[in-house]
Amino acid sequence: MALEEIRSRVAAAEQEANRPAGAVTLIAVSKVQPLERVVATLAEGHRVYGENRVQEAQGKWAELRERFTDVELHLIGPLQTNKARAALELFDVIHTLDRPKLATTLARLAQERGACPPLFIQVNTGEEPQKAGVLPDDLDAFVAEVRALDLPLEGLMCIPPVEEEPSLHFALLAKLAERNGLSGLSMGMSGDFERAIALGATHVRVGSAIFGERDYG
């Protein structure tokens, strides 16, 4: 099935880029997908999933986690501060830290809980007004702010503009990460994950290529 094919394409892209096998984490983006498709990949042994809405993920994964242990859940969609507590309880990694207010809220909650999942800062590499993310020019200052709050910052994430060559954005994200001493790069989706791996992605977020098209009905 499609998961197998995507796994082997990830492995081939790692090899092509002279990167160690397993250097890239394949996040299966299960948002909106029918439950039986998600269960099929769990039955095949996949354990790393991405969701973009806290509420949708809560319902779905509370039950699935009882049946399948050691699932690792990644939040890849925008996070409102009033959902931050729920997000910290549910997710193992958060890819969408994008503003100071969210950083201070996460820091306060993390202190209360005594734990915080690894975080990625979302960067608006295309500087699109409608898109979330820190602007490239503001990134270094924001990284410093997040570090000053003692938050576990792991890397950067981007969603390139649909009509542009994604490689330019992946290369920019890699440069910004290196400049800030960050090793994690969350970039690459169904249509471009091999290009992202060539440019250093550590996490690719693949939905429709694994599960089929999403039906928003």
Ligand X SMILES: *Cc1c(COP(=O)(O)O)cnc(C)c1O
| Closer to ligand X by Cβ: residue 4 or 140 | 4
| Closer to ligand X by Cβ: residue 180 or 190 | 190
E-strand ranges in the chain read 25-29, 48-51, 72-75, 93-97, 119-122, 153-157, 184-186, 203-206
For residue 28, which amino acid is it?
Answer: A
Q: Binders of ligand X among 99-158, rule CB under 6 A?
A: none
- Cβ atoms of 12 and 191 within 8 Å: the answer is no
Only segment of 16-24, 38-46, 131-139, 203-211 that touches ligand X (CB under 6 A) = 203-211
| Closer to ligand X by Cβ: residue 200 or 207 | 207
| Closer to ligand X by Cβ: residue 126 or 207 | 207
Segment (H or E) for 210: helix 208-211
Indicate the residue whose CB is closest to ligand X. 207
Does 190 engage in binding with ligand X (CB under 6 A)?
yes
Number of residues this chain uses to bind ligand X (CB under 6 A): 13
The token duo for 165 is 């060559």
For residue 198, which amino acid is it?
Answer: A
Sorted by sequence, the CB contacts under 8 Å of residue 54 that are 6+ apart come out as 75, 79, 83, 86, 87, 90
The token duo for 58 is 């809560």
Does 76 engage in binding with ligand X (CB under 6 A)?
yes
Does 206 engage in binding with ligand X (CB under 6 A)?
yes
| Closer to ligand X by Cβ: residue 188 or 200 | 188
Binding site for ligand X (CB under 6 A): 29, 31, 52, 76-77, 159, 189-190, 205-209
